[in-house]
């Protein structure tokens, strides 16, 4: 009945959100690979300073240093 339809809609919405997160993550990884190939990996898009190894270790797809990200 009505509850199973609501559950199905909720599951579809959750699946769509998960797919969107996966696609976003894939795009971020592809962008990081392009920055590696261009020799620009690890440099902030905002100020041009080095992002920092600890930040890149946590998330190698970041494009901004801590100061520019906040």
pLDDT tens digits along 27-61: 999 999 999 999 999 999 999 999 999 999 999 99
Cα distance between residue 22 and residue 49, in whole Å: 29
The conformation of residue 44, written as its DSSP 8-state character, comes to -
Per the listing, tokens 């797809």 go with 61
User: Nearest 5°: phi and psi at 2?
Assistant: -65, -40
Cα distance between residue 63 and residue 41, in whole Å: 8
pTM of the model: 0.75
Q: Which residues contact 41 (CB under 8 A, 6 or more apart)?
A: 32, 35
Question: Can you give the pLDDT at residue 18?
Answer: 97
């Amino acid at each position: 009945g009505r509850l199973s339809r609501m559950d199905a809609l909720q599951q579809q919405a959750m699946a769509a959100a998960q797919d969107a997160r996966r696609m976003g993550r894939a795009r971020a990884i592809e962008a990081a690979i392009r920055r590696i190939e261009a020799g620009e990996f690890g440099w902030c898009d905002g100020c041009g300073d080095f992002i920092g190894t600890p930040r890149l270790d946590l998330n190698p797809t970041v494009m901004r240093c801590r100061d520019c990200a906040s």
